[in-house]
Structure 1
Amino acid sequence: MQSVARANAPGIYKALMKSLVFENISLQQMQQKIVGFGCDGASVNTGSVSGVITLLQTNISKEIVLVKCLAHRLELAFKDAIKGIHLYTKLNTLLTELFKFYHTSSLQTENLKQTFRALGLQTALPHRVGGTRWVSHVLGALIQVWKGYAAYVKHLGQVASEHSNKKQPKAKHLSMLLSSKELVVFGNFLTDVLTVISTLSQQLQRDETGIYHSHEQIQATIMVVKKYKEREGPYLRSVFEKEEYKGYTLKGTVNFESVRIKVVDAMVGCLEKRFSDIDIGLLAATKLANFSTWPTVFNESNKDFGDEHVATLTDHFSQTLQQQGVNPAVVELEWNILRSSLYNNHTVADLTWPAVNKILGNECKNILALVDLVLSLPASSAVCERGFSLMKQTKTEYRNRLHTKTLSNLLMVKLHTKNEKEYDPTSAIHYWNTGGPKKRRHNFMEDRSNQLSDSSNQAGSSDQAVLVEEQDETGVAIADKDKMLSDSDSDWSDYGSCSEMEEEDDVLTLEAACEDLGFED
């Protein structure tokens, strides 16, 4: 973690170099190891004249590949496609105003919850639409509205009928929008489209997703979106060509087909435009690392499969490969050996690269080194965004004096700690027990309690031993002692029992007291 003096390309590049040097990475190691640079589409990072990528290629290696974050591109594609759609503007107004209506009034929120309980529905409060992630925020807000549609319509209708309520005009307007057939149909259609796009976004944001994964995922998403041009999705089927939705009558007419065609065409066009560069040149060649893109059967019709991709990758990364001890001249030869071996002896769809390395690691080490290089290229900069989010949560206004090194260590723990279900604390416990300058006394209290119990047991056993000794020493006289007790009982019998003696003493005491007080009787 390094602070940036100025938020321009030289400032970012300088901070980046400081961060790498801080990790004891030399310039020679950078030239040998750095093969890709993932970032968002900001010009300060991607500028061809003075951007960060240009400085990296000039000072480190000209073979460094620029990968613009695919998740950011997806968000921008949705924003471009939906721009100018009148129904989306009305739908966005509905979602925004509905959130404000309940978020700013605890009374209305509580009444809405009571409406949910009265209808026997699970509470689904409205979500905020705005934010940096347009796709997920809009999708979440839409799903909440459809989950609680009946409760929203009923509660807003009740508020709209109360003329003395200050919220009456706003509730009436929102109730009218929720009852609009055109808006409800379009909203459910958009929910279907956003569900597909959101799924792609989540896949691209995973840490293990590489650029080689993205080709198939993007093409599958575009194919599904195209189908929605003529076919209804799960959400749209619940309302399409129906007069009621969730038990409430919809009002108005629907001119939906033209809007659907316009939205689908715009979405597909924007997706293809934003991701056009990954289907040509070097980025297109990375699909070689994805086994699912390989032909099912290797025959004469596809005998040249992968040759062009291998040649493109070898030519671009020739210097980097040579620095790692790879011979670029034999890479293409080993590719043919690798391809033939995998098709002849294995089912390609079931293979993974770790398994291939175990099988052919010695025989095809040069081509496998090239594959490892391709696997390291990122698909998005989502991990950086998560780091920024954690940094804001860690360095708050109450902890604004954290040193850079301390902040880096805290973020390292938070970003790289395993899930609780996957974490095995055995090694950490062992290190804690043995790693300190002094021996850990983690069983101190337990040992102390054991000592106390042992000492009490010893004391009890010693008391028993003393009694036994006394009995042993006087064992001969025990019978006589019992006899003495029996004799003493017989001797005292002449004077009466103990209770009789006590009664006599009480009588004498009472008589003396009466005499002192002057009572004769």
Structure 2
Amino acid sequence: MVCATADGAAVNTGAYNGLLTQLRNDERPWLVTISCTMHRVELTIKDSLMKEKKFVEVEDLMVTLYYLMKRSGKFQRQFHETAAALDVQVYKFPKVHGTRFVNHQRKGVSVLLHNWIPLAIAIENAIANASNRTLNATLKGILKKIRSAAFLATACIFKSILSVVAALSLKLEKDFIMPFKVAPAVALAQAELEELLQDNECHLAKQGLTLTESTVSASLPKPGHMKRNPENRQYTDVEYTKMTHAGLVEGTVKAVKDSTLPPSSECLRLRFQSFDSAPFPAMLWVDPANWQDMDKELDMMMSLAERFAVPLRESGFDATNLKAEWKVTKHTVKYFYPSVTSPASLWQRLLSYRRKQFPNVCLLVEVVLAIGVSNGTVESCFSYLTAMLTDRRVPLLHTTMSDLLIIRANHATWSDHERNEIISAALGEYMSGRRKMQLEPQAPDDSEEPAPKRALVASSSSGDSSTSSSENGGVGESDSEAALHCLEVSSAASSDSRSDLPQVLGSGSGSDNDLP
């Protein structure tokens, strides 16, 4: 074991009794313990963005709209009828609260901004309808927020910030991200946040909205046109003319940016500063883009070899041949893999086909590849299980669900041979459970006479014997025996049709050579 990754809960990362701490103290001083990077991004949002009251109001509105559409089928129908009358495409409001990562919030704000104008018109029509009295208070509260141009500008800047943070979260969610690439990804996100702070462009225009005094307008795609190629899409111009607080837009945007962007950038730096310390900077040599100075690369490799000396020694690592192997490795990559730019793809090929050529370098690379920076794969199992247990699959046994979840979560780590073994074992277990009894093949005994049912079935299918008995005009000895043995065959076939029927059909060839 070279690495252990978990979320930031105290039971995992506690300084004294945390699981990761106990693993490291249990004679594993080399162990790298990592708090999940995806959870660090979520904590950054909680500690910086969600302290802004205006952003909390935007999130509360998305939650309110989600439950309104879920619980009121009548208003949901009116909303879609309004969109059909305007000839525009609208989307379902997603769930953005609970155990949802930042990208779900970004999608929720995107849907809210897209549905803004049709939603405002639908709410006005619903309030005017006397049959919606039970929802009037909720609808009026939502309409008050939607009519505010300052609130609309807040939602737009919230979407711009979430787009930067969500891109970082999705990058860290990938299974094949290298540990040494975390710090550059965070630095890029910080630079984008700083650029957003200095950007004076209207954020409403970035979201496809135009605000002029009390009117907000947008060009929305027609129903079904988002499935077409961009050049074949058609749009409908829609507008809403009852916006308020238009003069507060610029001041609101500036105040929100100044109060949220600098703290967010600083919080990212503090949350991820552990990736600037050892052993992560010593892993840069794994990426061919960083191959410049062989002496520095060898120093980094020796640093890793010293850190993980115990597990490497158990694997047969020999540092004396490291320099020669590394030189051969670089030449091999240069001449045989010049077009492979991804470190993961490159080392996958080298580990598969050239391990014997430079085994010590491959051992160091395996140490680096074994370090996972997030537990996104484990977190996704909750979604897999929810999608698996639908209303039509409620009778699934717990053991079956457990097996399906294990297969879905670990399929990427299994080889083709391991998959075939699992399939064969599962198929054998299924077939043995379906059959009533197992048939064991028996060796034929030459001393015993052939089974009468096989001989007589063959004789009954023979044309000569049946013709001779019928020509005699009566029931002779052969006919009575045939009738008796046919009765035996039918009774035997009915008792075990699945085992006897193929044998009977195979014996009835109609040839005299099959007769005893």
Which protein has the larger Cα radius of gyration, Structure 1 or Structure 2? 1
Q: Give distance in 2, aligned partners of 1:394 and 1:122.
A: 30
Distance 2:134 2:280 in 1: 59
2:240 corresponding residue in structure 1: 248
Give matches, 1:85-164, under 5 Å.
Answer: 85-162=52-129
Q: Distance in 2 between matches of 1:407 and 1:159?
A: 44
Contact in 2 for aligned 1:191/1:235 (Cα 8 Å): no
Q: 1:260 to 1:168 in 2, by over 3 A?
A: same
| 1:56-81 Cα shifts (integer Å, max 9, x gaps) | 22336332211211111111111111
Q: Kindly provide the CA deviation profile for residues 286-334 of structure 1, in whole angstroms up to 9, marking residues without a partner as x.
A: 3432334x16xx3xxx565434432331111011111100013443564
Matches of 2:299 and 2:210, distance apart in 1: 51
Which residue of structure 2 lines up, in the alignment, with residue 324 of structure 1? 315
Is 269-278 or 356-365 further displaced after alignment? 356-365
Change (3 A) 1:431 1:284: same
- State whether residues 310 and 332 of structure 1, in contact with CA within 8 Å, keep that contact through their aligned partners in structure 2: no
Greater alpha carbon shift after TM alignment, 280-289 vs 376-385: 280-289
Q: Is the 8 A contact 2:153 2:204 kept in 1?
A: no
**CA, structure 1 residues 203+39, in 2 after alignment: closer, same or farther (shift >3 Å)?**
same
* Residues 212, 288 of structure 1: 8 Å contact kept: no
Query: Which aligned pairs between 1:459-478 and structure 2 lie closer than 5 A?
Result: none
Give the equivalent residue in structure 1 for 2:435: none
Task: Find the aligned partners of 1:333 and 1:410 in 2 and give their Cα distance.
Answer: 46
In the superposition, relative to structure 1, how do residues 429 and 138 fare at CA in structure 2: closer, same or farther (>3 Å)?
Answer: same
Tell me, in whole angstroms, the C-alpha distance in 2 between the residues paired with 1:309 and 1:183: 52
Q: Is the 8 A contact 2:95 2:108 kept in 1?
A: yes
Q: 1:370 aligns with which of 346, 358, 364?
A: 364
| Alpha carbons 2:78, 2:126 under 8 Å: kept | no
Q: 1:67 aligns with which of 34, 49, 53?
A: 34
**Which position in structure 1 is the counterpart of 2:151?**
183
Matches of 2:272 and 2:185 in 1, distance apart? 12
Distance 1:35 1:233 in 2: 49
Does 1:199 find its partner at 2:167?
yes
Counterpart of 1:387?
381
TM-score, scaled to structure 1: 0.66
Q: Distance in 2 between matches of 1:64 and 1:152?
A: 54
Cα distance, 1:105 vs structure 2: 1.4
Deviation (angstroms), 1:112? 0.8
Pick the aligned partner of 1:217 from 185, 190, 208. Answer: 185
Q: TM-score, normalised by structure 2?
A: 0.67
Amino acid at match of 2:304: L
Q: CA RMSD in A?
A: 4.1
In the alignment, does 2:297 pair up with 1:306? yes
Deviation string 1:152-197 (CA, Å, 9 cap, x unpaired) is 0101122344577343333222122112222212212221222232
Q: Per-residue deviation at 1:378?
A: 0.9
The question of whether the paired residues in 2 share the 8 Å contact of 1:291 and 1:348 is answered with no
Alignment equivalent of 1:279, drawn from 276, 279, 284 = 276
Q: Partner of 1:229: helix, strand, or coil?
A: helix
Shift in CA distance, 366/429, structure 1 to aligned 2, threshold 3 Å: closer
Letter in 2 for 1:353: W
Other structure's SS at 1:281 match = coil
Structure 2 counterpart of 1:310, which letter?
M
The answer on whether the counterparts of 1:63 and 1:317 sit within 8 Å (CA) in structure 2 is yes
Cα gap change, 1:181 to 1:307, in 2 (>3 Å): farther
Which residue of 1 is the match for residue 348 of structure 2? Answer: 354
1:264 correspondence with 2:257: no
Instruction: Report 1:329-348 matches (<5 A).
Output: 329-331=320-322, 334-335=325-326, 338-339=329-330, 342=333, 347=338
Q: Which amino acid aligns with 1:267?
A: S
The residue that corresponds to 1:228 in the other structure is 196
Q: Name the SS for the 2:33 alignment partner.
A: strand
Q: How many aligned positions are there?
A: 404
| Amino acid aligned to 2:262 | D
Partner SS for 2:98 = coil
Distance in 1, matches of 2:42 and 2:172, equals 12
Structure 1 residues 226 and 347, CA, compared in 2 at 3 Å: closer, same or farther? farther
Cα pair distance change 1:350/1:186, threshold 3 Å: same
Letter in 1 for 2:169: S
Change (3 A) 1:396 1:128: closer
Structure 2 CA distance for aligned equivalents of residues 401 and 358 of structure 1: 39
Distance change >3 Å, CA 177–CA 77, structure 1 → 2:
same
Structure 2 unaligned runs (5+)? 219-238, 433-437, 441-460, 465-516
Shift of 1:389: 4.5
Distance (whole Å) between structure 1 residues aligned to residue 428 and residue 179 of structure 2: 44
